[in-house]
């Protein structure tokens, strides 16, 4: 069975890919040319009838008009969800946007060198592999835990604050929680928890065939809450080298072992964030109280819808919800077109707690902002948080 199908009339390009991949016989094949100019849905039906099983990757183009290539990509995405589609076309912001909308995972230039072609196909094949393994198995062997990814279009909007407090809250209530710091360049979750991690994500993606047991050895423990943490790499250069697909695989493996995997991210929809979103069950979206953030937030929601990230449950958090900046919650809801689930007030307790490395739900559990953060935890936990007197954490801390 062919793992990679080239949907291109360009024989020279196909030969070049064949040589670049140097794959065993039969692994790379070409879609018959007559199929390529058919109506997209019919083309896909014809192809699937010929395939024994869906290939891992279909590369569409070059040599097809953009519209034809994108329609074919869209039809493949819709009808053969196991297969990952790569578009081979001259990259431009416009083509990227249209490609994303059509469900294409990557755009590669037709004149990309052999290494770039190989890398694009390998990345797509890894994504296909994850897509297959992420699908729930009938015997229930798929990921058991919830994967909660915290996302925001803008830097400094409170992702790390929310991710660390949510993770600590869930760990305190339910145990069995791990926080993954996927802000690969500037992750600061460890510092917000006063941890000095020995191992990081760099170690977690090093193994070609990682397993949950070897990953668990790389986690740091936050003793005050029982939370486990997979820390971000030590420096930005190291961070840049983390393959997004492998980070997502690590997250999935952790979800087999932990009930909750909370993922902190960098601003926007970076490559690593998108890879995590593909395996996520829940999305915590953070908006802050200013016009650029609200606009960015609206674009983020639109982009997520366009790229088909619609299966995750969405939880919308408005941070610094009480800031007097001439915006009302209702204005924001109207602008972004979604309801706000949790409002976090501004609080001096937050920077104080960050500076001391103790999350506010532990440090100042009576603060209104800590109560609001526990309301977010309520959306995931089965056990309610104790409200007055600091609850679980208050008790724990007094014991010390």
How far apart CA 60 and CA 97 sit, in angstroms, is: 16
Is the CB of 2 or the CB of 160 nearer to Mg ion?
160
Size of the site for ligand ATP (CB under 6 A): 19
- Residue 169 interacts with ligand ATP (CB under 6 A): yes or no: no
Is the CB of 116 or the CB of 291 nearer to ligand ATP?
291
Residue 190 binding target from ligand ATP, Mg ion, none, CB below 5 to 8 Å by type = none
Is the CB of 267 or the CB of 371 nearer to Mg ion?
267
Q: How far is the CB of 319 from ligand ATP (least distance, A)?
A: 5
Is the CB of 88 or the CB of 287 nearer to ligand ATP?
287
The contact pattern for ligand ATP, residues 324-353, with x = CB under 6 A and - = no contact, is --------------------x-xx--xx--
- Residue 239 interacts with ligand ATP (CB under 6 A): yes or no: no
Sole binder of ligand ATP in the list 41, 267, 270, 340 (CB under 6 A): 267
Q: How far is the CB of 253 from Mg ion (least distance, A)?
A: 23
Selected range binding Mg ion among 156-164, 204-212, 241-249, 319-327, rule: CB under 5 A: 156-164
The contact pattern for ligand ATP, residues 127-166, with x = CB under 6 A and - = no contact, is -------------------------x--xxxxxxx-----
- Residue 272 interacts with Mg ion (CB under 5 A): yes or no: no
Task: For residue 169, give both structure tokens.
Answer: 């809250």
Sole binder of ligand ATP in the list 230, 255, 354, 376 (CB under 6 A): 354
- Residue 236 interacts with ligand ATP (CB under 6 A): yes or no: no
Chain center to CA of 295 = 21
Q: How far is the CB of 11 from Mg ion (least distance, A)?
A: 49
Residue 285 binding target from ligand ATP, Mg ion, none, CB below 5 to 8 Å by type = none
- Residue 157 interacts with Mg ion (CB under 5 A): yes or no: no
Phi, psi of 180 (to 5 degrees): -110, 120
Peptide bond into 62 cis (omega under 30): yes
- Residue 159 interacts with Mg ion (CB under 5 A): yes or no: yes
Is the CB of 100 or the CB of 162 nearer to ligand ATP?
162
Selected range binding Mg ion among 73-81, 158-166, 219-227, 316-324, rule: CB under 5 A: 158-166
Q: How far is the CB of 396 from ligand ATP (least distance, A)?
A: 23
How far apart CA 390 and CA 365 sit, in angstroms, is: 5
- Residue 160 interacts with Mg ion (CB under 5 A): yes or no: yes
Exposed, middle or buried, 142 (CB in 10 Å: 0-12/13-18/19+)? middle
Name residue, tokens 């366009």.
306
Looking at the chain, how many residues does it have? 400
Q: How far is the CB of 270 from ligand ATP (least distance, A)?
A: 11
- Residue 319 interacts with ligand ATP (CB under 6 A): yes or no: yes
Residues that bind Mg ion (CB under 5 A): 159-160
Residues contributing to the site for ligand ATP (CB under 6 A)? 152, 155-161, 183, 267, 319-320, 344, 346-347, 350-351, 354, 369
């Amino acid at each position: 069975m062919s793992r990679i199908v080239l949907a291109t009339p360009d024989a020279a390009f196909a030969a070049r890919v064949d040589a670049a991949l140097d794959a065993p016989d039969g692994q790379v094949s070409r879609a018959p040319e007559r199929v390529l100019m058919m109506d997209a849905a019919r083309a896909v039906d014809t192809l699937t009838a010929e395939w024994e099983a869906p290939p891992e990757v279909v590369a569409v183009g070059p040599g097809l008009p953009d519209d034809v290539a994108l329609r074919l990509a869209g039809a493949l995405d819709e009808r053969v969800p196991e297969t990952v589609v790569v578009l081979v076309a001259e990259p431009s912001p416009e083509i990227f946007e249209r490609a994303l909308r059509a469900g294409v995972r990557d755009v590669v230039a037709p004149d990309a060198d052999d290494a770039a072609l190989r890398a694009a196909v390998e990345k797509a094949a890894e994504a296909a592999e994850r897509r297959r393994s992420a699908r729930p198995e009938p015997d229930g062997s798929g990921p058991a835990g919830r994967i909660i990814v915290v996302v925001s279009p803008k830097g400094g909007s409170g992702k790390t604050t929310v991710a660390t407090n949510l993770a600590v809250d869930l760990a305190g209530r339910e145990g069995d929680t791990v926080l993954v710091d996927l802000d690969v360049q500037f992750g600061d979750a460890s510092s917000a928890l006063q941890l000095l991690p020995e191992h990081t994500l760099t170690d977690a993606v090093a193994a070609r065939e990682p397993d949950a047991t070897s990953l668990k050895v790389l986690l740091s423990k936050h003793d005050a809450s029982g939370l486990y943490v997979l820390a971000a790499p030590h420096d930005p250069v190291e961070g840049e080298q983390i393959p997004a697909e492998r980070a997502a695989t690590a997250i999935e493996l952790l979800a087999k072992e932990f009930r909750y995997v909370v993922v902190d991210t960098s601003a926007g929809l970076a490559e690593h964030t998108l890879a995590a979103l593909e395996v996520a069950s829940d999305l915590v979206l953070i908006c802050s109280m200013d016009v650029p953030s609200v606009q960015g937030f609206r674009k983020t929601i639109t982009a997520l819808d366009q790229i088909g990230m619609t299966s995750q449950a969405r939880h919308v958090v408005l941070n610094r919800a009480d800031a007097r900046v001439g915006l009302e919650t209702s204005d924001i809801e109207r602008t972004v077109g979604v309801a706000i689930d949790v409002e976090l007030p501004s609080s001096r307790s937050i920077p104080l707690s960050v500076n001391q490395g103790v999350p506010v739900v532990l440090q100042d559990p009576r603060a209104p902002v800590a109560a609001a953060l526990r309301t977010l935890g309520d959306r995931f936990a089965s056990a309610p948080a104790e409200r007055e007197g600091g609850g679980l954490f208050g008790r724990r801390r007094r014991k010390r």
